[in-house]
A = this chain, B = another copy of it.
Amino acid sequence: MKDYISIKPWKIVEDGFHPENSKISESIFSIGNGRMGQRGNFEETYSGLSLRGSYIAGIYYPDKTRVGWWKNGYPEYFAKVLNSVNWSSIEISIDGTEIDLAKHTPLHFRRELDMQAGVLNREFTVKLADKTIRAKTQRFCSMHRKNLGVIRYSLTAEEDCTIHIKSGLNGDVRNQDANYDEFFWQNTKADFHEQPIAWLSQETRKTNFGVYALCQHKWNSGMAAVKSNGTNHELYAGMEYEFRLKAGETLNFDKYSIILSDLYVKREDFANQGIREINEAYQAGFETLKDEQYSAWKAIWKNCDIEIEGDESAQQAIRFNIFQLFQTYTGDDARLNIGPKGFTGEKYGGSTYWDTEAYCIPFYLGTASPEVARNLLLYRYQQLPKAIENAEKLGFKNGAALYPMVTMNGEECHNEWEITFEEIHRNGAIAYAIYDYIRYTGDEDYMASNGLEVLIGIARFWAQRVNWSNDKKKFVMLGVTGPNEFENNVNNNWYTNYIAAWCMRYAAEQYNKLSKATSKRLLEIKAKTELDSSEVEQWLNIQSNMYFPFDAERNVFLQHDGFLDKELIPVSELPSSQRPIVEHWSWDRILRSCYIKQADVLQGFYFFEDDFDMEVHRRHFDFYEPFTVHESSLSPCIHSILANKIGNREKAYEFYLRTARLDLNDINNDTCDGCHITSMAGTWMTISKGFAGIRVRNEKLHLNPALPEKWHSIRFQLRFRENLFGIQIKNRSISVQNLEGPDSTIACYGQEFKVLKDHHIHIE
């Protein structure tokens, strides 16, 4: 828990220099535009604590897996988020002494992430070589020009001095998390088109992704470089400049960088397109580019901002969460997905976890056009053949699909057997997301065009994964890990059994529904999947004979077989010195304890709330909440939503703060590794599904708000089908504005209201 970030509604501010937190700050002050992103590293040399990282969407390295004891079925590689060409370094010396804030403590330091403008600002004053220098930097990854990164480095000296600047493109970048200290890049070349336009090209080893970067510099017209020359060698190309700065004078040194990858540009076009884009940026100039950036972010905020009155800390936090999500993923490319750390760190590698379906998709459904969520679904659709291969590797047949736990391209790359092979509930979330997407957007066509094929693969997997227990006279599912990863290889995890049964039922229903229409598309699907109705019957048979562990005495579903054999000691009785238990306890102790890492049975109640009445909700919340330690960032949001549902507003708010300020306050002591991007979507859900009580029922948007006591009001935009609604919730009133789209009907506290086009309603 840290508390050095100042609270401003639109800004993340570090006032004063906190070198001890520099890696945390680098994570928090990350910038990106969905196509690329980077940690908030200083431009100038910094020899203090730092994890330098600059990442390009979709470009990864399949690092050879490290494992103690190989198990059959383990993947060969773990895909690493790849640290790529460093385009943001600007090395600066004053009269021969290099600026390095680790060596020359700044007299003044302020860093500010302007979320409204999408710009990272920094200013500091430093005294070195007997000169007092004021520096100001502005940096952004352009949302308007997706390949462009822009930096303005402004320097003012109190005394006459000579400034030496070295700036370029550095291809000598490594991942700190490389398993075998390998260099992940090859065939690096670096040169100049014509000085001063430097370029650097390289490709990843094994995966052969090509990257091509260019940079060019510009400075204020009053200034002249007294020296200028280019240096390039195998892994670097850049320029060195020397300026004479008079006392009080300011040098505005601009750096424009273009980063292309062959995901978007053919290699043979790299040079031409790169030169064109760098010239365009150079011509446009810093101020124009910055204006564009502001406009682009304005357009994003228009649809997704949440205003909270009465709680500035909560206000800052929710904007930070939303901002980071849109920096990470903008939804225009179905090959991309949302890594747990986005562009803010190396940790967890891969890009896609079940986080995307369970947490991020609802966020993008509410805040962006339906295409964004659709692209996330298509990502999985496109990877269906790999999911079938993945299942085959584990012995499944006949088109059964098991989506990977962690992936870049559809191949599994995680290698803990209890996760990789057993945390199979991820398949359920992927099916559920299809249901969620169609329910929210009304895009019924998606089922026939893409959804059903995925559902068939998933239903087949479950049908093969269960077995008939002669003992229980039910279908059972042995050897799984539920969402609560503090239990491994259990039998009959309730959540997994429940979502598996639901998947089989949903797949069967959708198949039968489409069968009635006997469309050409259905015939195609049947031919492609070799599905016949007896298999569908079998799904229905299994789901209706599935075993669910239950305790009659307490009248609760049990997390898994044997849960009641544990010693049930509430978390509140654990000494704080033992928390988090994952840091203090050995794994076996955690496993045999009753402590729940993240919502498990309750995750099922969250997904399938209409299957259980309020009393059942309350009973299960009261039973499981006391044993839940929330050592996953994905847990508090679900508990907050459920607490809200059962009317426990205090708990709901407590869990909100825990998720919303997770990174800003470094609550889990790991923000240094990067921000918890995917759980940020959970924060958004806490407000929308929790405090605002938003649901879709009978094709309509329902609101059922209950704000935390402290909050005067919240105001937010929400996309639902063809409409964009402006919603304001106060303690005793709700107003809904139909900002875009046709006349509509929404429900508040169960009562329906017509909201005409361009009109608003107000409910006391």
Chain A positions near chain B (C-beta within 8 angstroms): 65-69, 71-73, 78, 393-395, 415-418, 421-422, 467-472, 476, 478-479, 488-492, 561-562, 564-568, 582-592
CB distance from A478 to the nearest CB of B (A): 4
Q: Does A488 contact B489, Cβ atoms closer than 8 Å? A: yes
Q: Which residues of B contact A422 (CB under 8 A)?
A: 588
Closest 6 CB pairs of A and B: A73-B586, A421-B588, A471-B564, A479-B592, A478-B592, A71-B587
Q: Report B-chain residues with C-beta under 8 Å of the C-beta of A470.
A: 564, 568
CA A582 to CA B74, docked complex, whole Å: 13
Give the distance in Å from the alpha carbon of A421 to the alpha carbon of B418 in the complex.
Answer: 15
**Interface residue from B72, B394, B561, B591 paired with A489 (Cβ < 8 Å):** B591
For the residues of A in contact with B, the DSSP-based class is loop
B585 lies within 8 A of A72 (CB): yes
Residue of A415, A469, A476, A479 with most partner-chain B CB within 10 A: A479
Give the docked Cα–Cα distance between A586 and B395 (Å): 7
Q: Which of A69, A71, A78, A567 has the most CB of B within 10 A?
A: A69
Give chain B nearest CB distance to A526 CB in angstroms.
Answer: 29
- Answer whether A561 and B562 are a contact pair too, CB < 8 Å, given A393-B586, A489-B591, A591-B489: yes
In the complex, chain B residues whose CB is within 8 Å of the CB of A421? 586-588
| 15 chain-A/chain-B pairs, Cβ below 8 angstroms | A68-B68, A68-B78, A68-B416, A72-B587, A73-B587, A73-B588, A394-B589, A395-B586, A418-B489, A467-B566, A469-B566, A478-B562, A479-B591, A479-B592, A561-B561
Contacts of A585 in B (CB 8 A): 72-73, 395
The answer to whether residues A587 and B417 also contact, given A564-B470, A566-B467 and a CB cut-off of 8 A, is yes
**A418, A470, A489, A492, most chain B CB atoms within 10 A:** A489
Report Cα–Cα, A562/B78, bound state, in Å: 34
* Candidates B417, B476, B565; contact of A471 at CB < 8 Å: B565
Nearest-Cβ distance from residue A66 to partner chain B, whole angstroms: 5
Find A72's partner among B66, B564, B582 (CB 8 Å cutoff): B582
A590: nearest residue on chain B (CB-CB)? B72
User: From residue A375, how far is it (CB to closest CB) to chain B in Å?
Assistant: 30
Nearest CB in chain B to that of A419: its residue: B69
Contact of A588 with B471 at beta-carbon distance under 8 Å, contacts A68-B416, A562-B561 already known? no
Please give, as numbers and ranges, the residues of chain B lying within 8 Å of A490 by CB-CB distance: 489
Q: How far is the CA of A66 from the CA of B469 in the complex (A)?
A: 39
With beta carbons under 8 angstroms apart, the residue of B78, B417, B568, B586 that contacts A588 is B417
**Residues of B contacting A78 with CB < 8 Å?**
68
By a CB distance below 8 angstroms, the chain B residues around A564 are 469-471
User: Chain B nearest CB: distance from A708 CB in Å?
Assistant: 35
Which residues of chain B are within 8 angstroms of A469 by Cβ–Cβ distance? 564-566
With A69-B416, A417-B588 already in contact, 16 other A-B pairs whose C-beta atoms are closer than 8 Å? A66-B67, A67-B67, A68-B415, A72-B582, A72-B583, A72-B587, A73-B585, A394-B588, A395-B586, A421-B586, A421-B588, A469-B566, A470-B564, A476-B565, A491-B562, A492-B565
